[in-house]
Structure 1
Amino acid sequence: MRHATRRPDAVAPTASPTAAPNPAPESPPPGRTPRKIVVVGGGSTYTPELIDGFARLRDTLPVRELILVDPAADRLDVVGGLARRIFAKQQHPGTITVTDDLDAAVVDADAVLLQLRVGGQAARMQDESWPLTCGCVGQETTGAGGLAKALRTVPVVLDIAERVRRAAPDAWIIDFTNPVGIVTRALLQAGHKAVGLCNAAIGFQRRFAELLGVRPADVHLGHVGLNHLTWETSVRLGGPEGEDVLPRLLAEHGETIARSTGLPPDVLAGLGVVPSYYLRYYYAHDQVVDELRSKPSRASEVAAMEQQLLEMYRDPALDEKPALLAKRGGAYYSEAAVDLAAALLGDAHQTGGTGAGPYQVVNVRNAGTLPFLPDDAVIEVQAAVGPSGATPLPVDALDPLYAGLVAHVTGYEDLALQAALHGGRNRVYRALLAHPLVGQHGYADHLTDQLIQHNREHLPWA
């Protein structure tokens, strides 16, 4: 959904950081320690959204140094230039450094944000195309394409995390890299201080708040499931114990909400919950396949948009994120990332923050929250977040309609992670056979060969 091109070996220390000073530093809020934040995949066209958040929300998370790491020097220089201009315009006292030297960048970091895309948009285009050959959804985070992305990504992320652990053992890793659930599970199983983050929940929170005419801080979501497989089962005002206004929202704004999910209003009315956009790949699979076959891929649209954005970023007069960036995806990513980093580092809610309150929707270890899943599964739910990590809030018993699909996809994610860690054609085949969007032997066998063929350069075992 949102990241810079990266090769598996692309974080080798090959160049020295370069930095440009910003305006004279101001004093941080009393009692607050300005932080060192590192963004891996900093050459992404998403990065100005993140920079804008750090600049606007500096009272929530004071930052003394922000380092953008990426092997693509041309993109990194362009994005870094705009990032510095955004900081300067908003008179942020921190410095912004760009480098391809990961090991030097993460020394003594407080938090490391991962937003990388192994194989770049070219790999995404493949992920969205070859599954369609057998009538399966072609998508970059779920189904066969999502498995391909996981196989390319998990080994790279684990290598980065090990290097972070050596250079900054106390740093928190915030993973925004898809597939977030599988990647976060890999990080946690390897013992890293990691939390996964997606912008789906904050998008719903903002949308519901607007419809209700209240502050986002007043909206507490009953958000439950797995990354890109979630439902809003309640919308409470004022906190976890507040009034549930979801029935009113669906009654008064059902058509508006349905449009954001890609599903008909009668589906939401019948369910009584709000599925995430990604549920349309399950609830309207054949319709989605027909749509994907009949129009240009999302990857091709994004690739063209990225070229436009980079041209805009090169303009030395541009000192704010352009409106076009909103069409790239990742809405409210910066607010979610700043809130999460501030909470993990103990800086949250001392000056009002952005309204996240003590809770935030994150990807975290299940640990009994959903009793039908293994403890080490990674779920996406509301959690209390602080310096000791994220602790899931209790979740009401999940309707079998949703619990069954969650259990099914969790089984797939376990097999996908084994394939990513250990390789082998049979592990890939087993993961595909287990995925509810594939599920047939003939499809799984064919797609296994297609996946390996299109990703061989990223799979050493192949």
Structure 2
Amino acid sequence: MKLTVVGGGSTYTPELIDGFARLRDTLPVEELVLVDPAAERLELVGGLARRIFAKQGHDGRIVTTSDLDAGVDGADAVLLQLRVGGQAARQQDETWPLECGCVGQETTGAGGLAKALRTVPVVLDIAERVRRTNPHAWIIDFTNPVGIVTRALLQAGHKAVGLCNVAIGFQRKFAGLLGVTPADVHLDHVGLNHLTWETGVRLGGPEGEDVLPKLLTGHGDTIAADLHLPRPLLDRLGVVPSYYLRYFYAHDEVVRELGTKPSRAAEVAAMEQELLQMYGDPGLDEKPGLLAKRGGAYYSEAAVDLAAGLLGGGGSPYQVVNTLNRGTLPFLPGDAVIEVQAAVGPNGPTPLAVPAVDPLFAGLMAQVTAYEDLALAAALRGGRDRVFKALLAHPLVGQYAYAEGLTDRLIAHNREHLAWA
């Protein structure tokens, strides 16, 4: 089995490598190719990757290359984990929206739109080259904003599935609170990427006992503290929202906070420099503890599970993925990309049935789906007016004066990445 990671020079990659090494019985990788144009980073990451494989007794071959076409040739699956513009672009995404009184964040709101506009054309170009070289390969997208990027891939006819680590993080958190193994926990997870709610927590599988009420009663304070949301809100909702919902439920509070501390991008950039220095140590042969603070926790387990399911090698029977709606949520268009539990096999994911969704959540999903429609149109076709309409439709913007100011700033800060600007 051959897997290719596009963006293999990312500081995330050793987390992925560690998972491939530990879970080799689930996903027997014979050749792993790391593709990245940043030669110096790729050399550091590739060296550590080989040492991790060697320490854990994995006999798979690790190849590093800047040649995308050679890297994806013959691959069974291609994982996308790239960041167009790097941390410098992320720093801008998290900064200029604050000038208009809006949340500055890299995957939602105005910053998330900027990232989509930079990313979608690049990902589609990569996917077309994969299709020309190896049309049967699955594309697993971990590149944010995952929902919009995955929809672009599916709309263009690619064999693609989107992946996020939010659900697997909740699964492990809840398992710890309940004193069970993560495999015992099945989430009733519903929404769009970075706009999801855990509406049930079941023991043993989709038909198991729902222990969410017990979790909220016994551990509500802990869960609320992790989400930085008040406990009474969780009690009133009766569900556990993703931590990204704080941008919606406490927008003004978050804007004030973001204006008083360094950006997450600045923190991550400093962390990345420290990680790369560690990766260059020839004595390091395991992922460092600092990597857990970088983000992407449990990404490797989710990626292994998904790849194994798609390639027919096993994995968990049900997995949370980003895939086409096709009637799963009847209040959304069939071609919307939703994030739900699905049975994953060689033919792709098949979403499980979802009980009726509370209008409180369904309404926000519908509004953000409409924004994603407009965002994808702007990413594919360009134009200031399309950018403005997408921003005006986003619930974190919503006012025409904000949308005007944000449109000007978005274009000014991203001109080098926008072919039409």
Global fold match (TM > 0.5): yes
Partners of 1:36 and 1:166 in 2: CA distance: 17
Matches within 5 A, 1:192-271: 192-271=158-237
Please point out which of 365, 369, 382 is paired with 2:324: 365
- Partner of 1:381, secondary structure, is strand
**C-alpha displacement of 1:129:** 0.4
Partners of 1:50 and 1:439 in 2: CA distance: 38
The aligned residue for residue 26 of structure 1 is: none
The aligned residue for residue 24 of structure 1 is: none
Q: Deviations over 1:42-68 (max 9, x none)?
A: 000000000000000000000110000
- Partner of 2:144, secondary structure, is coil
**C-alpha displacement of 1:260:** 2.0
**C-alpha displacement of 1:161:** 0.3
RMSD: 0.5
2:245 matches 1:276: no
Q: Deviations over 1:108-145 (max 9, x none)?
A: 10000000000000000000000001100000000000
Q: Deviations over 1:338-369 (max 9, x none)?
A: 000000000015xxxxxx3x100000000000
- Partner of 2:323, secondary structure, is strand
**C-alpha displacement of 1:271:** 0.6
Q: Deviations over 1:2-21 (max 9, x none)?
A: xxxxxxxxxxxxxxxxxxxx
Partners of 2:196 and 2:225 in 1: CA distance: 16
- Partner of 1:63, secondary structure, is coil
The aligned residue for residue 145 of structure 2 is: 179
2:412 matches 1:459: no
The one-letter code matched in structure 2 to 1:54 is F
Partners of 1:275 and 1:261 in 2: CA distance: 8
Partners of 1:259 and 1:201 in 2: CA distance: 18
2:85 matches 1:119: yes
The one-letter code matched in structure 2 to 1:202 is I
Q: Deviations over 1:402-449 (max 9, x none)?
A: 000000000000000000000000000000000000000000011001
**C-alpha displacement of 1:291:** 0.3
Matches within 5 A, 1:7-46: 35-46=1-12
Partners of 2:282 and 2:163 in 1: CA distance: 32
Partners of 2:95 and 2:328 in 1: CA distance: 36
The aligned residue for residue 319 of structure 1 is: 285
- Partner of 1:38, secondary structure, is strand
Structure 1 length as normaliser, TM-score?
A: 0.91
Partners of 2:359 and 2:334 in 1: CA distance: 19
- Partner of 1:251, secondary structure, is helix
**C-alpha displacement of 1:215:** 1.3
- Partner of 1:250, secondary structure, is helix
2:95 matches 1:136: no
2:375 matches 1:416: yes
- Partner of 2:290, secondary structure, is helix
Partners of 2:241 and 2:147 in 1: CA distance: 17
**C-alpha displacement of 1:262:** 1.7
Q: Deviations over 1:59-110 (max 9, x none)?
A: 0000110000000000000000000000010110101000000001111100
Please point out which of 384, 399, 402 is paired with 1:443: 402
The aligned residue for residue 259 of structure 2 is: 293
Partners of 1:168 and 1:345 in 2: CA distance: 15
The aligned residue for residue 405 of structure 1 is: 364
The 4+ residue runs of structure 1 with deviation greater than 6 A are: none
Unaligned runs of 5+ in 2: none
Aligned pair count reads 421
Partners of 1:450 and 1:271 in 2: CA distance: 36
**C-alpha displacement of 1:326:** 0.3
Partners of 2:42 and 2:197 in 1: CA distance: 37
Aligned sequence identity (%):
80
- Partner of 2:350, secondary structure, is strand
Partners of 2:289 and 2:232 in 1: CA distance: 33
Partners of 2:246 and 2:16 in 1: CA distance: 28
2:343 matches 1:384: yes
Partners of 1:83 and 1:338 in 2: CA distance: 16
**C-alpha displacement of 1:266:** 1.2
The one-letter code matched in structure 2 to 1:419 is A
- Partner of 2:79, secondary structure, is strand
Partners of 1:160 and 1:276 in 2: CA distance: 30
Partners of 1:262 and 1:402 in 2: CA distance: 19
Structure 2 length as normaliser, TM-score?
A: 1.00
Please point out which of 393, 399, 404 is paired with 2:352: 393
Partners of 1:359 and 1:88 in 2: CA distance: 31
The aligned residue for residue 98 of structure 1 is: 64
2:276 matches 1:310: yes
